[in-house]
Amino acid sequence: MLDIRRIRSDLDAVRDALARRGESAAELDRVHELDARQRRLFVDRDEARSRVRALSKEVATLNREGRAEEAAAPQEESRCLGRTEKRLAEEAATVGEEIRSLLLRIPNLPHPEVPDGDGEADNPVVEVVGYDPDGYGAHQRVPHWEVGEALGILDNGRAAKIAGSMFTMQRGAGATMARALCQLALDRNADAFEEVRPPTLVTSATLTATGQLPKFADDAYHIERDDLWCVPTAEVPLTSVARGEILDEAALPMRLMACTPCYRREAGAAGRDTRGMLRSHEFDKVEIFAYATPEQSPALLEDLLARAVGLIDLLGLAHRVVEICAGDLGQSHHRSLDVEVYAPGCDRWLEVSSVSWFADYQARRADVRYRPAGGKGTEVVHTLNGSALAVPRVWAAILETHRRPDGSVAVPEPLHPYMRGITEIR
């Protein structure tokens, strides 16, 4: 969430930053109004509390001097002020709850270097690698759902029988390749990231910390009996690893990675991109994540992006990097870049990774702080994350890109150590 101190001191700048996202300032102005009211309540409460203490001392003195009758009036005043103090404290707490509720809904402010724009169509392409629209043969222009079905490695019909629509099932070498992709991503990032296997059912507080709640509750799977949520990405539990803690600056950046299933209702995507592996309710993904100081964050964003792009390049897939404009940024994002692969069979660019810097927005919600070396007090950390590799669309692009004229698919060489000797799928 946004820092209330910044809203107090620089309201116009915050309003202008939100306007770049196309956001109304109504909730922001309400927060500013409520914050002023709460601070006035605190002043009145403290004045009442101070007067109660003074009266208590006066009453005690009068009683010690045997002047109990004179103590009656200040004692009654103290009781009345005590009730006033309690009422003011309760009112301030109620206002504070409303402020927090509003702050949880107000999105993050875009980085100054984020390009202006209203939506996806305004996202500039930063880099294109390996793409030649005329360089693909007819055998590569077959969609992966047809390739996978012909090879017996994609069985979405039975997946739907088991779990319903928008679930997928890989079989044989297809399942092995899906697992191999995850292991490759873990191994390629093990030089700098600690592997974690977090819970994939989390509390509401954990989901709130990353910004999914309360705004995106309809897109998540909720287990009402236990009030737990299925994670939409490992970003969710990793963000809360240090929730409520104070880290030492010397421990930063703290880099974590996790391979987990991810669950998304895709409530707003019914009927869109539902064929094959393009969009599903459950999929596997390797996430890379970091807690950092503000000064460390820009270099970390570049590193996370380089790692995501490096894996795609290693697999021999044409790809491009897209910078997300202000009007298309996610709720929690300060700056974000997408990595997209070209799938010749679908003839589409498919997002396979989103690399994002959240500044202190998530960590403020999760209350993750650090103690600066040699400094006093604490500061809120910054969080960053990226999809090192999300299986479905990379898997799909491999089938289409590496399909041969005879219908077989060459397994990219970096996956060979994880494929139990399989180097081609027939």
| The total number of structural domains that make up the chain | 2
Domain match, 135 and 94 both: no
Instruction: Tell me which residues of the chain have a pLDDT lower than 50.
Output: 268
User: Which pairs with CB-CB distance under 8 Å and at least 24 residues apart come from 6-10?
Assistant: 7/31, 7/32, 7/35, 8/32, 8/35
Domain match, 378 and 351 both: yes
- CATH classification at residue 80: 1.10.287.40
Domain match, 49 and 150 both: no
pLDDT tens, 352-362? Answer: 999 999 999 99
Q: Which of 103, 128, 151 is a domain's end point?
A: 103
Query: What integer pLDDT is reported at residue 124 of this predicted model?
Result: 98
- CATH classification at residue 341: 3.30.930.10
Give the pTM.
0.93
Domain match, 228 and 176 both: yes
* Residue 162 falls inside a structural domain: yes
* Residue 31 falls inside a structural domain: yes
Domain match, 195 and 226 both: yes
* Residue 26 falls inside a structural domain: yes
Domain match, 166 and 211 both: yes
Query: What integer pLDDT is reported at residue 271 of this predicted model?
Result: 55
Query: What integer pLDDT is reported at residue 272 of this predicted model?
Result: 59
Domain match, 96 and 189 both: no
Query: What integer pLDDT is reported at residue 215 of this predicted model?
Result: 83
Domain match, 89 and 130 both: no
pLDDT tens, 113-123? Answer: 999 999 999 99
Domain match, 318 and 411 both: yes
- Domain extent, residue 60, equals 4-103
Domain match, 92 and 215 both: no
Query: What integer pLDDT is reported at residue 274 of this predicted model?
Result: 74
Q: Which of 103, 134, 160 is a domain's end point?
A: 103
